[in-house]
Amino acid sequence: MSAGKDQARAVVAPELDGQTVAAVVRSLLDGLPWSKARALCREGRVRHRGAVATDPAARVRAGDEIAVLHTAAPRLREPEIRLLHVDADVVVVDKPAGLVSVPFTPDERDTLLHRAHAALRRHEGGKHLPPLRVVQRLDKDTSGVMVLARTRRAERELGQQLRRHDVHRVYLGIAYGRVAGATHDTMLVPDRGDRRRGSWRPRGRAEPPAAARRAITHVELVEHHACADLRWAAARSDPPGLSLVRCRLETGRQHQIRIHLGEDHHPLVGERVYDRDYEGPRLHDFIEGRGRPMLHAAELGFRHPSRDLSLSFCADLPSDFADLLHRMRASGAR
């Protein structure tokens, strides 16, 4: 570890491979409390591979550089939340990437939940409003359509629809290689054996552990492009091309799509956690921590919690996703 203008700087040791950013910060700062380690991340005072690391739960790899700064790094002003639908029971929003859905701690204020509440207050003339209620969550780096409840009844009814698998949820992703259409039906566990969430495999054990949860993802190949003239990083073999995939969820487990695509050897472009089963070339723009996993919640449909009405919503592609898709389509033959 070294010091200077940074409070601490170090290269992640092999024994910390796979740990969270917050865990590494604690080790650098002599057992700093978990709450303070997470706060340093949220304040923009931690850098991971040269980029500001605001997600304390992000995973690191051996050889990564972590730095803790004396003062927060400058942060760009985030865009306001776009409201897709508002009524007395529900609010449907278009979540930008890079924003956590809910606070990790009571004092955290920059979340989708807080910004949606502020946008709703502006929409309704600045009057006092009760807190919004979380029904579903999107990962920090996932963009797209998301519903929040305004009443306890709506929260309960939408939660029941999710548990019955009655909510229509479709994601678009851009993945490496030619992805085959398939249904992935696995039991997800917190640790598949390499300190990563993943699918349980028997290995001599007949029954899955109690923590295992069934996860079902229906994957459809929309289009594949060779992309030979895109910039690939240190390719030792021919580029595998890129696939636009449509993923319909039957269940909604944490990181479900990312895990299933990664275990199928077709991780999302920008994936940095569930990509250990992939050894092929990667796009240069998405190495060394650049970019995000290319995943977008494109469609959401559910029954209105208090009216006999089916609602369906779509979220436009964000600029980074649309730009990569445009470059894919312009790069060569399918």
Model pLDDT for residues 153-167, shown as the tens digit of each residue: 999 999 999 999 999
The residue with greater pLDDT, 48 or 329, is 329
Q: How far apart are CA 94 and CA 318, in angstroms?
A: 10
- What dihedral angle (degrees, nearest 10) is formed by the CA atoms of 56, 136, 141, 130? -70
Residues 154 and 179 in one domain: no
Residue 326 — very low, low, confident or very high, per pLDDT cuts 50/70/90?
A: very high
Q: Catalytic annotation on 185?
A: no
Domain count of the fold of the chain: 3
Q: What is the pLDDT of residue 2?
A: 47
Give the chain's mean pLDDT.
88
Q: How does DSSP assign 135-159, residue by residue?
A: S----TT-EEEEEEESSHHHHHHHH
**Comparing 294 with 69, which gets the higher pLDDT?**
294
pLDDT of residue 6: 55
Could you say which of 130, 163, 196 is where a domain stops? 163
Catalytic residue selected from 55, 94, 139, 264: 139
- The CA distance from 226 to 27, in Å, is 44
Contacts 24+ apart (CB under 8 A), 81-84: 81/112, 81/115, 81/116, 81/118, 81/119, 82/119, 83/116, 83/119, 83/120, 83/123, 84/145, 84/313, 84/315
Is pTM beyond 0.85? Reply is no
Same domain, 176 and 261: yes
Q: Which of 109, 132, 163 is the last residue of a domain?
A: 163
The verdict on residue 306 lying in a domain is no
Residues 89 and 156 in one domain: yes
Q: Which domain holds residue 95?
A: 82-163
Over residues 58-85, mean pLDDT: 75
**According to the model, what pLDDT value does residue 79 have?**
58
What is the pairing mode between strands 51-52 and 46-48? antiparallel
Q: What is the structure's pLDDT at 78? A: 52
For residue 204, the model assigns a pLDDT of 63
Residue 260 in any domain: the answer is yes
Assign residue 217 the CATH number of its domain: 3.30.2350.10
Q: Quick one: pLDDT band at residue 38, thresholds 50, 70, 90?
A: confident
Helix, coil or strand: residue 114: helix
Residue 184 belongs to some domain of the structure: yes
